[in-house]
Structure 1
Amino acid sequence: MTIKTGLMAAALLMLAGCNAPSQHAAVETCKADNQMQQTTLYFGLNRPAGAQITGNEWQQFVDQDVTPRFRDGLTVFDARGQWLGNDGKVAREPSKALMLIHGKDAQSEKNIEALRGIYKSRFAQESVMRVDQPVCVQF
């Protein structure tokens, strides 16, 4: 075995013992006061009839419906949804993503589901995607 081959084998053996830290490990080492939930909601901006939800309509929804339910703050960012339709064609939709950091409690859950329902009803949407994950938050 050459020195180069031996070094390569040793490096591979050392790397085999390395694990990437999981997200749960970060939350498990997080102080109890810093443990929160992150919920990101994805809102499509196309209406079934073809017109888009306007910037003013979106902002009114955030100001009148979201902010009163999440007074401590929120983050909104632009997104672009894309998928392959049943007809085999690529479909795209401009979207908004709403990130909420909150406690894992019944009131937050109720507020999030209320927002999803309001948006679907007001803007004739089929769904509002929701993604939840535990996070460790420090200010």
Structure 2
Amino acid sequence: MPALRPKYFSDGVKVGMLLKKLHIRPVAKIQYTFDPFTENVASIRSVINCLNTKSVLSSSVALSKINVQSDRCEPKIDVEFSDGHKLIFKTEHLKASEILEKLLFYCNQKDTTQPEADVALTKMSGKPKGKKKK
């Protein structure tokens, strides 16, 4: 009998799973800044590729700007939400799945179009009101 091992997903599989749930409705502006000649820019390039797909872009009217610099600057993503809050990802030591996971978390927190949770039903609320049988 083979030993039971926990199931680990590669970064590409995690990104694919996150893209199915990802929306950027509350985002007003995204700005990417990186130097392509330095190390550790693969994650920001992957995030740019993921966030510029048709399915993600159709969920928002966010303005996207890419600044490619050659001054050995640290790669970062500046996200500005429609309510004025800003979020900065310094992506040098992050994976693409980690960036997308946190972005999805903050977008879900700031999204106002999500429906409210249903009221919890109790035992008494489901019974019809009337006379008790004797």
Quickly name the TM-score band, shorter chain normalised: under 0.3
Q: Which has the higher contact order (CA 8 A, sep 6+)?
A: 1
Structure with more of its chain in strand, by fraction: 1
